[in-house]
Amino acid sequence: MIANFIKFQQYGDERGALVALEDMKNVPFPIRRIYYMFGCAEGVLRGEHAHKQLKQVLIAVRGSCRFLLDDGHSRTEVVLDDPAQGLLVDPMVWHEMWDFSEDCLLMALADAHYDEADYIRNYQEFLRNAAQ
Ligand code: T46
């Protein structure tokens, strides 16, 4: 599957850089939740699920990690390492994150509040749903 990246405008001068995230502007949905991951040790695998409804944009604000996208038909692996770039993760995309750099700060913008019922955490169940 194709990875959909959003390139954010970066405002920079001799003082440093700034990126602004605005829902319905450069983030294509209403932002209802922001969460972030950090301190992910070497060898750790995160994610391993798909969402039924949730849309998200993932940004490596600092450091890097690898990201797998799987729509049930094909798989794509990308590296997240650019704080001025977001990866759009649509519903019904199985995703995994690994190979976190020690300094990785991975931020997610989501269009809904946390709801465990929205997760599909079993890959076989995901494939059955994706085939429908
Ligand atoms: C996703 C990937 C990219 C909450 O209580 N509220 C929240 O908003 C979130 C995101 C998580 N949690 C709790 C649930 C678990 O007890 O935090 C714990 C760790 O969550 P999880 O194991 O789902 O973390 P990841 O890194 O596997 O997945 C997370 C998001 O949960 C998920 O939606 O798409 O990052």
**Is 49 labeled as catalytic in the residue annotation?**
yes
Top-confidence residue, 7 or 132: 7
For residue 35 and ligand 1, the question of a CB distance below 6 A is answered with: yes
Give pLDDT tens digits for 66-102: 999 999 999 999 999 999 999 999 999 999 999 999 9
> pTM score, two decimals?
0.97
Residue 72: CB partners within 8 Å, gap ≥ 6?
A: 92, 94, 126, 127, 129, 130, 131
For residue 46 and ligand 1, the question of a CB distance below 6 A is answered with: yes
Give pLDDT tens digits for 29-75: 999 999 999 999 989 999 999 999 999 999 999 999 999 999 999 99
